[in-house]
């Protein structure tokens, strides 16, 4: 059975079949012989014509049915592509779009260069901007914040020096001048070294800080340069007891040690979100480390903390008085203990219970400071500072002093 693409093709085929039927009728043979008892017989041509018509009509009906069915199937099989009204697209187009269209739920910032860096990449890029800051009495860390050689560190690292030594990660050493130094607790100093196009670290906006955010600390504890530790931010806006209101700290559990002071605390974008400043050292406490926020550093650098500086100087004077008071009390305590110890040794020598030589050795030992201290006053000053910070109680300080005079 032929397939028809148009109605005209079907009509043409229909006329052709009818013509073939008419020719069949005209060419049919005539019957000449009849039986003796002839009954009424219809002409053979008439009989053939009716049968042909019936057959043709049946075929036509079947053809029409099949053609209609074919058109319906073809109509359903052809994909629709509406130009307006709805957003229906072909399966092929949908497949292409599914492989190329962006995910609407994706966080675009996650693909930005700043947020897609891995920690090894961040550390590799940052370490060239971290320096060791040395003075005749101590050493600490610092970091470059401009290509012209501006360096940030703690004021307690440089102490009262007007010039310090800066050692880069390439081991190159340069002299740095101190152009500005804050008064503790505004523990920030700005240094300047000669140079152009130096690698530097940008300051973050510490208002964007989030608790739980991962950070790394880079510094030189015990003069071991480029020491890297990793942790999280425990608190973004810590204001400590007796501190000035505008001085905020970030608390982190990233491990730091003496020598880390002045080093950067770096976020996942490779920005400095804080400067490592101090930690609480007390038996039973761990991970209480603090970094002064990047916004405080920026405000200090841009001269927006003059009033805070004035207040810091007043606080510093009060702390000096308190420190002097604590130190004087400990000196008096030590002298009382030494006098009692001396009298005990002298009495034992006088009674012959102790030789003069051994008595002299015991007295000499009592006046020798513990390891790490140059003199007894230096040791007592350290005890006073720890007591002021709350690291030692008054009783603990007293027991440490008494221990020096045990026989």
Q: DSSP string spanning 178-215?
A: EEEEPPTTS--EEEE-S-SS----PBP-GGG--TT-EE
Please tell me the distance from the alpha carbon of residue 148 to that of residue 194, in angstroms, as a whole number: 7
Instruction: Compute the mean pLDDT over every residue in the chain, rounded to the nearest whole number.
Output: 80
Catalytic, 108? Answer: no
Catalytic, 261? Answer: yes
Domain residue spans of the chain: 1-27+42-93, 119-301, 315-403
Distances (CA, A) of 361 to 184, 225, 351, 358, 400: 42, 42, 17, 5, 20
Please tell me the distance from the alpha carbon of residue 177 to that of residue 270, in angstroms, as a whole number: 27
**Pairwise pLDDT comparison (377 vs 51), residue with the higher score:** 377
Q: What is the pLDDT of residues 154-206, one digit of tens each?
A: 999 998 899 999 999 999 999 999 999 999 889 999 999 998 899 999 999 99
What confidence score (pLDDT) does residue 244 get?
74
Structure tokens at 133: 């800051």
**Predicted TM-score (pTM) of this structure:** 0.57
Residue 397, helix vs strand vs coil: helix
Of these residues, 139, 181, 187, 294, which one is catalytic? 187
Within 13 Å and on the Cβ side, how many CA atoms surround 116? 7
What's the whole-number mean pLDDT along residues 238-253? 83
Please tell me the distance from the alpha carbon of residue 213 to that of residue 315, in angstroms, as a whole number: 33
What confidence score (pLDDT) does residue 296 get?
96
CATH topology of domain 119-301: Thrombin, subunit H (2.40.10)
Please tell me the distance from the alpha carbon of residue 119 to that of residue 216, in angstroms, as a whole number: 8
Of these residues, 156, 206, 294, 404, which one is catalytic? 156
What confidence score (pLDDT) does residue 110 get?
34
pLDDT band at 230 (very low <50, low <70, confident <90, very high): very high
**Pairwise pLDDT comparison (285 vs 340), residue with the higher score:** 340
Q: What is the pLDDT of residues 89-108, one digit of tens each?
A: 333 333 334 433 333 333 33
Residue 291, helix vs strand vs coil: strand
What confidence score (pLDDT) does residue 199 get?
96
Catalytic, 187? Answer: yes
Q: What percent of the chain has pLDDT over 70?
A: 73
8 A C-beta contact, residue 147 and residue 197: yes
Of these residues, 129, 141, 155, 261, which one is catalytic? 261
């Amino acid at each position: 059975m032929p397939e028809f693409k148009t109605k005209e093709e079907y009509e043409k085929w229909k006329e052709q079949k009818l013509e073939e039927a008419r020719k069949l009728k005209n060419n049919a043979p005539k019957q000449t012989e009849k039986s003796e008892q002839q009954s009424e017989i219809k002409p053979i041509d008439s009989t053939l014509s009716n049968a042909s018509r019936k057959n043709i009509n049946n075929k036509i009906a079947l053809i029409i049915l099949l053609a209609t069915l074919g058109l319906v199937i073809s109509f359903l099989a052809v994909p629709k592509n509406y130009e307006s009204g709805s957003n229906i697209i072909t399966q092929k187009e949908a497949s292409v779009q599914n492989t190329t269209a962006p995910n609407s739920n994706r966080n675009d910032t996650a693909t930005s260069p700043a947020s897609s860096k891995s920690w090894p990449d961040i550390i590799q890029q940052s370490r060239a901007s971290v320096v060791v800051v040395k003075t005749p009495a101590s050493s600490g860390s610092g970091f470059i914040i401009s290509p012209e050689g501006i360096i940030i560190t703690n004021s307690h690292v440089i102490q009262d020096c007007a010039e310090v030594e800066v050692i880069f990660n390439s081991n190159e050493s340069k002299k740095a001048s101190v152009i500005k130094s804050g008064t503790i607790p505004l523990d920030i100093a700005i240094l300047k070294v000669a140079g152009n196009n130096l690698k530097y670290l940008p300051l973050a906006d510490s208002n964007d800080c989030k608790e739980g955010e991962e950070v790394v600390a880079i510094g030189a504890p015990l003069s071991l340069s480029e020491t890297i530790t990793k942790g999280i931010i425990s608190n973004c806006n810590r204001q400590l007891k007796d501190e000035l209101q505008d001085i905020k700290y970030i608390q982190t559990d990233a491990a730091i040690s003496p020598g880390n002071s002045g080093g950067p605390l770096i976020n996942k974008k490779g920005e400095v979100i804080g400067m490592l400043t101090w930690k609480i050292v007390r038996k039973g406490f761990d991970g209480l480390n603090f970094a002064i926020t990047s916004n405080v550093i920026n405000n200090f650098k841009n001269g927006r903390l003059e009033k805070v500086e004035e207040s810091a100087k007043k606080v510093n004077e009060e702390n000096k008085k308190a420190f002097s008071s604590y130190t004087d009390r400990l000196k008096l305590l030590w002298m009382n203990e030494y006098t009692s110890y001396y009298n005990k040794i002298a009495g034992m020598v006088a009674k012959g219970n102790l030789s003069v030589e051994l008595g002299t050795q015991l007295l000499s030992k009592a006046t020798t400071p513990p390891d790490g201290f140059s003199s007894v006053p230096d040791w007592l000053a350290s005890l006073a500072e720890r007591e002021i910070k709350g690291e030692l109680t008054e009783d603990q300080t007293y027991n440490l002093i008494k221990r020096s005079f045990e026989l």
